[in-house]
Amino acid sequence: MNFCSHCGQPVQLRDIPGDNIQRYQCVACEMVHYENPKMVVGCLPVYEDKVLLCKRAIEPRSGYWNLPAGYLENAETAEAGAMREVWEEALAKVKIIGIHSIYSIKHINQIYVFYLAELTPSEFGIGEESLDVRLFMESEIPWKEIAFTSSVHALKCYFEDRKTGQRRTHRGEFKMK
């Protein structure tokens, strides 16, 4: 950040009284600019014994499969954002069952929230951001072609829950190697 969004003057990284990390503060109006993680929301859409995956038509990871997800918009609930992403990527409507997983990627300041959802009805299509959209049984998942670790985590947890007959909320975190 170089300039204040309030008055347009330069900002500097400073110690702010009562805060435990440095923040950007305007040198003129002294407005403190907080930078916080981005929320990514999506769904793990299920129909019978299959899950819906979308092949990405956009970067990053174009050509790879993923759960439908994207950035939460301002003035949007997490649930509404997750359902919007399913519509944008798969032209599908879903009924949210509940939170399935929360996955943190600290080094890029992202937090993923995936909802378990039922396709209602089982109709879907290829949205603007997708090259292909398909229902997969567990044995058909193209694991080496999944775009992001957040989706791998959500999918593995879902299939584990299905085997045990439980529905839990899972937590995960990307670990740098």
Note the pLDDT of residue 70.
98
Q: What is the mean pLDDT of residues 99-104?
A: 98
Residues in the chain: 177
Per-residue pLDDT of 24-72, as tens digits, reads 999 999 999 999 999 999 999 999 999 999 999 999 999 999 999 999 9
CATH code matching the domain that covers 1-34, chosen among 1.20.1600.10, 3.40.109.10, 2.20.70.10, 3.90.650.10: 2.20.70.10
Architecture of the structural domain at 38-173: Alpha-Beta Complex (3.90)
Domain boundaries, the chain: 1-34, 38-173
What beta strand segments (E) does 19-169 contain? 23-26, 32-33, 38-47, 50-56, 65-66, 69-71, 94-105, 110-119, 130-136
Question: What percent of the chain is modeled with pLDDT above 90?
Answer: 97
pLDDT attached to residue 143: 98
Q: What was the pLDDT predicted at 122? A: 82
